[in-house]
Amino acid sequence: MLKKYEKIFQVKEEYMCPSGRSCPGCGGGILTRITSKAVGKNVLMSSGSCGTNSTGIFPVGSMTKYPVPISLLGGCGAALAGMEISAKIKGKEDATILGIVGDGDAVDIGFGSLSGMFERRHKVLVVIQDNQGYAATGGQRSGTTPWKVWTRNTPWGKARAPKYMPLIMLAHDAPYVATCSVAYPEDIFDKVQRATKKENQPAYIQCITPCSVNWKNESWMAVEVARQAVTCGIWPLWEYERGVFRRTVVSKEPTPLKDYMKLQRRYDHLTEEDVKELQEYIKELNEKIDRFAKVYSKDSKIEYKFPEAS
């Protein structure tokens, strides 16, 4: 285990403080801790929506050693752009401008400001804490909420597939786009380090972070839920870096979709027909990613084995 996470443990400094506001089993703490260790000291950081639960809000216990100004809901892109301009004025161009932001803020309400910030090419790193819903306001559905799952305002199941934001950001010609899972901290660490390079910015990373309250999984199972999201294919891990597109984790023995669903009660209402439709969605999603790989990269030798619907 120590050998596996050697690069992470070599960073002795801890930038995330003990305790915090997050619920037991929240994946946001893992994401914040690994991200901050990968970025290091020279950082100007902002946060919004669910990202504030793991980065901290004054005076309710800051969870990081950085000062973390919180943007208005929906204003994450504008706030980060302003921070980057201010850093230039102050002669701190070498600082990493980092945002750890919830999916509802950046992907839905604040999409316009985020899109504009990427179009203007601000040197910023945006990390999305994707718990697939508006977890901070009670667990309503968001644009990233998976198809058919239970939420507070879709008790019958969400009626449409999620907005797949990473490909939308790839269409912005961002030099660096990646997906992560809190079950693979070394993958997060490597991707964040690459995304801190100025030539890779603006950079976009979206990380799946289970919310035990709204996903209805046992809090101690959060990492396993995040792992099986990857191994069943519903949350593929990949990165695009200035012309090179590659998958970073591919399971040799894919997890059956039903095994992943059993870990969370937000899928309890699904029928056999629903499961088959989700299996087909997973296959189409991965095929779509492979097509984008061929369009956006010279490196298009990708293989993926899909588990059979059961």
Q: What is the pLDDT of residue 207?
A: 96
**29 Cβ contact partners less than 8 Å away, ≥ 6 residues apart:** 16, 20, 22, 54, 63
Residue tagged 């099986």 (tokens): 228
Q: What does the pLDDT read at residue 275?
A: 95
The verdict on residue 22 lying in a domain is no
Mean pLDDT, residues 201-212: 94
185 is in which domain, residue-wise? 45-296
**pTM exceeds 0.85:** yes
Does residue 121 fall inside a structural domain?
yes
Determine the 3-state secondary structure of 48 from DSSP.
strand
Please, which pLDDT band fits residue 27 given cuts at 50, 70 and 90?
confident
In a domain, 174, yes or no: yes
CATH of the domain at 152: 3.40.50.970
SS3 percent helix, strand, coil of the chain, rounded to 5, is 40, 15, 45
More confident residue, 134 or 238: 238
Residue 60 tokens read as 């309710």
If one compares 28 and 262, the residue with the highest pLDDT of the two is: 262
Considering the domain boundaries, does residue 307 fall inside one?
no
Q: Is-contact 237 207, C-beta < 8 A?
A: no
Cβ contacts of residue 62 below 8 Å, gap of 6+?
17, 55, 56, 68
Residue 115 phi, psi (nearest 5): -60, -45
Q: Averaged over 194-200, what is the pLDDT?
A: 96
- The pair of three-digit structure tokens given for residue 271, joined into one six-digit string: 């029928």
Mean pLDDT of 20-45: 83
Give percent of the chain above pLDDT 90: 52
Q: What is the DSSP string of 67-99?
A: --PBPPTT-HHHHHHHHHHHHHHTT-TTSEEEE
d(CA 127, CA 239): 13
In a domain, 32, yes or no: no
Phi then psi for 242, rounded to 5 degrees? 45, 60
Q: Rounded to an integer, what distance in angstroms lies between the CA atom of residue 80 and that of residue 98?
A: 8
Q: Is residue 151 part of a domain?
A: yes
Indicate the burial class of 271 (C-beta count within 10 angstroms; 0-12, 13-18, 19 or more).
exposed
For residues 129 and 271, give the distance between their C-alpha atoms in angstroms, rounded to a whole number: 30
pLDDT digits (tens, 9 = 90+) for 65-102: 666 766 667 678 888 998 899 989 999 989 999 999 88
Strands (E), 131-220: 176-181, 203-208
Rounded Cα distance between 257 and 251, Å, is 13
What is the mean pLDDT of the segment spanning 226-252? Answer: 92
Strands 125-130 and 203-208: parallel
What's the average model confidence in pLDDT over 285-295? 88
pLDDT digits (tens, 9 = 90+) for 109-168: 889 999 999 999 999 999 999 998 888 787 888 989 999 999 999 999 999 999 999 999
CA dist 144 → 51, 141, 148, 162, 169 (Å): 15, 8, 12, 5, 14
Which pLDDT band holds residue 271 (cuts at 50, 70, 90)?
very high
Q: Would 23 be classed as within a structural domain?
A: no
Amino acid at 40: G
Q: How confident is the model at residue 17 (pLDDT cuts 50, 70, 90)?
A: confident
Q: Answer whether residue 99 is part of any domain.
A: yes
Residue 306 has pLDDT above 70, yes or no: no
Considering its fold, how many domains does the chain have in total? 1
